[in-house]
Amino acid sequence: PAISVTRGHSVLPLHVYHHAVMPLLVWSWFVGNWPLHWYGCFVNSCVHIIMYFYYAAKTLGKEVWWKHYVTTIQIMQFCSVFALIWLFWGLSLIGIRPCVGSIWTTSFSQFVNLSFLALFVQFYRQTYRRRHFRNNDLVFDKEFKKTA
């Protein structure tokens, strides 16, 4: 975040998009009476605690070997929200309303969730799964510390 920018790192479009769309998403939860927003808020808060612990460690100059796990946890968060919304939709289709909430709000939530999922998977692939060939040997980035 702000510390990264001051230390010469660029801000990713993913980060800008996330902070631009979240106020709209939260507003839609209140306007659309979406009572399951607590789940997304709780899980997201837990993820941010881990993420800011990582940022603090990096800022203090600590060697952090588990950065890719933070992104993995974020991806798992989006998958769980995705499943929760599909469960809500599925129960609604068979006539069981597990809770109130407008279909517009859940649809917008699912769209944002899927866009986050796609962007975070793309980030993960670009950051942690890059492979390149050198002297006919497959070499992984040092993040995983493996060579073949």
> CA neighbours within 13 Å on the CB side: how many for 97?
7
Distance between CA atoms of 22 and 28, rounded to whole angstroms?
Answer: 10
pLDDT at residue 7 in the model: 57
Q: Give whole-number Cα distances, 102 to 22, 29, 44, 63, in Å.
A: 18, 9, 22, 46
The pLDDT tens digits for 66-125 are 999 999 999 999 999 999 988 888 888 787 776 677 888 989 999 999 999 999 999 999
pLDDT at 5 over 80: no
Distance between CA atoms of 50 and 123, rounded to whole angstroms?
Answer: 18
60 CB-near residues (< 8 Å, 6+ apart)? none
Distance between CA atoms of 23 and 7, rounded to whole angstroms?
Answer: 27
The pLDDT tens digits for 54-72 are 999 999 999 999 999 999 9
pLDDT at residue 146 in the model: 45
pLDDT at residue 127 in the model: 87
pTM over 0.85: no
Q: Are 54 and 74 in contact (CB under 8 A)?
A: no
pLDDT at residue 133 in the model: 45
